[in-house]
Amino acid sequence: MWDYFAWTFAARSMRHSFRQTLLAVGIVATSVTLIVFLTALISGLQLRLVSNVTDSIAHVIIPAERLPIPAWKLPSNPEPGVLYVGDTIKLEQRKRKIEDWQTWLGRLETFDPQVQAVSPVVEGQGIISRGEKRKGVMIEGVIPERYNMVVDLQSKLVRGRFFGLNAGEVAVGWKLADEFSLQIGDRVRLVSSEENSGAYTVAGIFDSGFGGLDNGAVLLPLRDAQSLFALGTAVTSIGLKLKDVFEADALAGRLALQVPYEARSWTLDNQSLLSGLRAQSQSSTLIVAFTAVASGLAIAAILVMVVMGKLRELGILKAMGATRTQILSTFTIQGTLLAVAGGIIGAVAGVSFCIFLGQFKTVASATGRIQDLFPMDLNTSLVLQAVGIAAATGFLASLLPAWRAARINPIEVIRAA
């Protein structure tokens, strides 16, 4: 469709209308710069929000509350394996424990390629006190090295240590430590909901970035927590970390058919976050759409002006034998070239702008931890998509003026001249 005549005429037209060419390229470049920058920024903010939440919790939790699946809720084509069916049973709080957790650890680690790590946890409500000051907290008994593979705390320590917690030692969040004026080596007392108590030494202070953990959780060795909650050798839950956090719902659904316990995805307790992410994604899509429409209208308007300025020339060309297809091709080539040139320039500008802003840092919290001021999720796919959108917009925007140019009657144009 696009022959030599169309290419040469389009190139000559762009040279002769150099100011209009620069204007069109500039408009497209600005649009693509905005698409790259805003999409990278919104996506980066979304990743930070998700990371702040999911890095501090297990992606899938298997609590000890037994919830067998009623037969009428089973899928028509269930996956092979053991299925647990029957009436829904709610166990009393004191009976919520997993006795055979060591057996399940190995099974869960090999259950699905998405599973990266598995950690047993003893979790319960309690009270922390120092002197006259008291506060309700969540007491978590863990195996530090295993727990860290699910929730990374070792790299987020402010002071002290997390790995190798000995009996009688605890790790606390920096907000809780600040509230109780705790330092490494200070002693606190913990009282569990089972009314068991003990004195513990602060061995580590961490800044996870998650308020619920930093302000209201105390972590201690698994055996100490089992004693506090009178669980013997049992645990209350098993946490799983996945490679892709958004696969948690699907994996929890498959686990529910394979284990005699409930499987809960992190998304169930974070619906407001997911709703906000969806709203941000929709906003990003609208921004891209409106920007593409604006640049397309600009290209169309400029090409219409070019057609109007070349009516006599186009009439003569058609009188000399130029076909409608050649004229149509000329302006679609011109519109597409303008868009591609602007897209490439805009992509380079957008990437450079993102890299420049990505260098700025800010203090994340009172602990002095540093993080990006403008988190950017910049990747090759985004850049190629932005240039592709520009090229498609330029082609579509050129169709109307090209169609108008192709329908010019050479006799009427020459007479009017």
pLDDT of residue 71: 54
Q: What is the rounded CA–CA span in Å between residue 63 and residue 267?
A: 15
For the whole model, what pTM was predicted?
0.72
Is there a contact between 135 and 128 (Cβ–Cβ < 8 Å)?
Answer: yes
Q: Tell me, what DSSP letter sits at residue 85?
A: B
Residue type, 190: L
Quick one: residue 77, left, alpha or beta (phi over 0 = left, psi -120 to 50 = alpha)?
A: beta
10 Å CB burial of residue 348 (0-12, 13-18, 19+) is middle
Rounded to the nearest 10 degrees, what angle do helices 324-357 and 380-406 cross at? 150
**Residues 179, 185, 190, CA angle at the centre, nearest 5°?**
60
Query: Bridge-partner residues for 187, per DSSP?
Result: 201
Q: Kindly report, residue by residue over 217-227, the tens digit of the pLDDT.
A: 999 999 999 99
pLDDT of residue 63: 81
Say how many Å lie between the first and final Cα of the chain, rounded: 30
pLDDT of residue 91: 45
Other beta carbons less than 10 A from residue 207's beta carbon: 22
pLDDT of residue 72: 55
- Residues of the chain scoring pLDDT < 70: 1-2, 64-96, 310-311, 364-369, 412-417
